[in-house]
Structure 1
Amino acid sequence: MRFFYPEAFYLLIPWFLFCSLLFFNQNLAHSWLKSKIHQRFITQFTRYTFTTLCIHLLIIFIAGICLIYTLASPYRAGSIENLSKSRNIFFILDSSYSMEAIDTYKTTSISLRSKSRLEVSKGIINELIEILPEDKIGLITFSGSSITHATPTLDHSAIKNMVSNLSTHSLRGTGSIFSKPLGEIIHTAQFQPDNYLAILLSDGEPIPNKQNFNHELEILEIAGIPIYTIGIGSDNGAQVSLFNPHDVYNKIDNPRVAKVIDTYRKDSYLKKISSATGGKYFELEDGTWVSDVKAALNSYKGKQAIKTAQGKIDHSHPALI
């Protein structure tokens, strides 16, 4: 048995002295009554005998010891079980260079209209964080590789700050590899078991011949981790300019254009990911996407998980009974 406040036991000294003084005074008074009053009439002045006086004061003394014991807060090391109902939501943001294209005109915020796919996606994430105040939020970006900026946390301000500072991963090509961020979520769920879901924002444009992520989808389905996908961009597409790498590296103000690429929103992989994991696909061009996403997230409550952790079991209550 250990105690949070062992210094509380110093109170035993004054408590013992107080009870001793009380016993001495009460016994002295009782003795005086016995010497001055006939035995027939003493019950009119006190109901105590020497035995009952000792018993009464002993009860008071023990009660004080119990209170001091409780004040010292005894505990034992042990396992504590908590029922977890919270959700851990990963935002997965496509940061490939195709996300620099400007072809998103239907957003909920006028300030984001005519912005790049990436800037609109960042605005969407901030909007969704506002409607998820009680959920833990994590952030992953990906292109040909993936980066976990934050595992799920309740520090939403920190996540928003990270989102505002995001930029594309590379200026050398377009397209993304979807297996990378899906693997990151699986890795996190394996080492930190809990309720997870993810919202993936992408134009869906792949890197050719590098889209074998069926294994990751199977694991996510078995684990019960739904991926909701939001298609960013338009069917009509837009053009993005690939700049000369030498000029970009040397931070030239007006880098030379090495190549102009046409880029379009491609839904097939986004629909496949959401369908295989039990999520849902949304399009930014659909004007009701905000309410639809909110309804979908609210409908997913997650599994109630019992979380066991090493902690301290309080043993102060029995002394108060």
Structure 2
Amino acid sequence: MAKITSKNHIFNTKLLFRKKNINYDNIMDTNISIKSILMKKSLIIIFFFTCLFGEQKYNYIGNAGFITGGNLLSIFKEGRVALKTWVEELIKEDNGKVIVNFYEENGTMYEDLKRKKLDMIVVDAPFFFKNREDIYKNAKDFWSLDIGKEKYSTYYLIGNKQKNLKGFKNLNNKTLVMRKNDDLGTIWLDKNSYEKNKKGANKLLKNIYYESKESSVILRVFFGKSDYAVVKKSVWDTMFELNPSIKNKVEIIEKSKVGQIDSIGFFSKDCDPKIVDAVFRIKENINNNKDFKKISKMLNYTTIYRITEDDYKDLIIYYNNYYALKEKYN
């Protein structure tokens, strides 16, 4: 693999960011600003392509697709622009090229993969499981991300202790808050509502509020502005660590039983094997470069890993049941 002179890249990147009016230091100091796991995954996916094409010695072009507002790329605009700029500038000096394409919809992006306009895409999990039979015909080498110690996400239904709430059976005329664009949380909420009430949650709840920041979701319940909230275990654990008094007013009422995968990446069946091999060597490449390793540690990234049906067989059953319930009761 070709080596990158890290000091020159960092210097050039700072100059490039100044030209584009992007604050380099703010971008690098993300331990405070990037708190959501989805945001970290977004940065890591883009960062992968720095390693993949920035360190490749092969002369070829790769096209990658990402969803701008879904489970993966829920990031601040400046962060997305900065990372995209960094990737493109790094690979130019290494005689490689990657075109990062952002899409509004999973379906449109997937169609472009089928038309061979894209080599690799990352789709939200609900889209994957709803369309997996067709995806199997057009894709290969499936993978996902591991953030910290978690490969799978757990969801909690939490509630305000003072309101004596009973969980999914007790949604009628109540209020609930959740993170904006949290498709996995919405599906978990609706699936349980279909099973307990034979109705979708939106037909029972008085109001559903959406917050951009996951911490605001819990605080809304803490201050009594919402009865319930749907949050990830990781978010709850972080908030409790920062403020243990949370448990004085907020309780965990329900926990998800099936571990969730936020997003699934895969390659076109016609994708150059060199690109596929390079992606799965990313962890090794990061460990061999101190600057990449530093960023990896900052993002709390552990590994990219291959997945097969054995890894998500419980999720196949989960989503099949959900779509069957949705069709039955809608």
Q: TM-score with structure 1 length normalisation? A: 0.29
Higher helix share: 2
Q: TM-score with structure 2 length normalisation? A: 0.29
